[in-house]
Amino acid sequence: MVLGIESSCDETGAGIVSGGRLLAHVVASSMDEHARFGGVVPEIAARAHLQAFNPVVHEALGQAGLRLRDIDAVAVTTGPGLSGALQVGLAGAKTLAFTAGVPLYGVHHLAGHVAADTLEHGPLPNPCMVLIVSGGHTSLLLVRDLVRDPILHLGDTIDDAAGECFDKVARVLGLPYPGGPAIDRAAREGNACAVAFPRPLLGSKEHPYSFSFSGLKTAAARWAEQHLQRGEELPVADGAASLQEAVADVLTRKALAACRQYEVRTLVVVGGVAANSRVRALAEERCAAAGVELRVPPLTLCTDNGAMIAAVGDLLVRSGSAPAQLDLSIDPSAPLEYAALHPTAGPVRVA
């Protein structure tokens, strides 16, 4: 029985997984508190985690019909993420592990997103191609054994990730925060071919599998400005649909190209932007045409949650991986190399 804790951004999550089976999944979000600022405010997020931590853990234990003494291990996100938010989750996880007398595992947040798919579709094929698309990260990875082997990065975000692009353009279009769901809703009434937005880095020999959405964000902003300067009503639905199409086109083309080059027959799409309806639909269409199996977690497991961290913890326990020590610390900018992330605080210096 592995209890997973997630607190890297604005969701406080607790999940319980045993033998690859999801037993509990509880998330408390502070998104509404950040909405009026148009983005996540780190101090507000940290305070919200403090308030939500105990209720979320208690509810997860209740869902599973367990008590703390029934838990065999605790897994917690130790990076990347907001420093204060990560500290709250780690402090709480250490307390739970110490109280229950069980091992503690530090987990890389992005590995959690990858493992989320196993809770719905079972073990990951070895190898598989993984496209992580979230608010702050867009990465294309070749994954073999998630908890034993190093993770090969084929491409990563050069500047703005796909989720950042949605958030920033949504603000330009007068849509609410968070931008991803707002863009998706507005796009339903729009024409995806109305605006010829650029497809960043498609066909790039230097960065064949990397992602850059800053230029697309700027193109959308200039398009909106031109309409406003001419005194015209902004066609928000068309802009949203065309932007969404550009993002989905780039993501899926690069992912399928990587599958062909590395002869991988399974594509796994995870992260918050994997909830986008056009990204999912275009991935399904292109994977079917290429004879590639597509795996996407349910919508509730795409965004940040404790269940995905528990899933990694469960895999680590079953693989015989060594747990972390009590000097486990956080790494807010940790690169994704392995699923386990056990940074230490290091020696304390006294002035």
Range in 46-50, 204-208, 312-316 the model is least confident about = 204-208
The pLDDT confidence band at residue 37, using thresholds 50, 70 and 90, is confident
Residue 98: phi, psi to the nearest 5?
-65, -45
Q: What is the DSSP string of 216-242?
A: HHHHHHHHHHHHHHTTPPP-HHHHHHH
* Residue carrying structure tokens 């890389």: 108
Closest of 295, 182, 285, 162 to residue 239, by C-alpha: 182
Closest of 296, 2, 37 to residue 10, by C-alpha: 37
pTM, whole model, 2 decimals?
Answer: 0.94
- What is the Cα–Cα distance from 238 to 95, expressed in whole angstroms? 50
Give residue-wise pLDDT tens across range 109-152.
Answer: 999 999 999 999 999 999 999 999 988 899 999 999 999 999 99
Under DSSP, is residue 130 helix (H, G, I), strand (E, B) or coil?
A: strand
Under DSSP, is residue 133 helix (H, G, I), strand (E, B) or coil?
A: strand
- What is the Cα–Cα distance from 15 to 76, expressed in whole angstroms? 10
- What is the Cα–Cα distance from 347 to 343, expressed in whole angstroms? 13
- What is the Cα–Cα distance from 33 to 45, expressed in whole angstroms? 9
| CA distances (Å), origin 244, targets 162, 168, 186, 209, 341 | 10, 13, 10, 19, 33
* Residue carrying structure tokens 């294309």: 140
Predicted confidence (pLDDT) at residue 350 exceeds the cutoff of 50: no
Give the pLDDT score at 338.
97
Cα 72 from chain centroid?
26
The pLDDT confidence band at residue 5, using thresholds 50, 70 and 90, is very high
> What would the two tokens of residue 11 be?
């969701």
Under DSSP, is residue 258 helix (H, G, I), strand (E, B) or coil?
A: helix
- What is the Cα–Cα distance from 57 to 41, expressed in whole angstroms? 23
Give the pLDDT score at 35.
81
* Residue carrying structure tokens 């998706």: 184
What mean pLDDT comes out for the span 218-242?
A: 96
Give residue-wise pLDDT tens across range 285-338.
Answer: 999 999 999 999 999 999 999 999 999 999 999 999 999 998 999 999 999 999
Which of left, alpha, beta for 227 (phi over 0: left; psi -120 to 50: alpha)?
alpha
DSSP 263: T
Predicted confidence (pLDDT) at residue 346 exceeds the cutoff of 80: no
> What would the two tokens of residue 87 be?
């500290």
Q: What's the chain's average pLDDT?
A: 95
Q: Is 284 exposed, middle or buried (0-12, 13-18, 19+ CB in 10 A)?
A: middle
Residue 315: phi, psi to the nearest 5?
-65, -40
Give residue-wise pLDDT tens across range 238-263.
Answer: 999 999 999 999 999 999 999 999 99
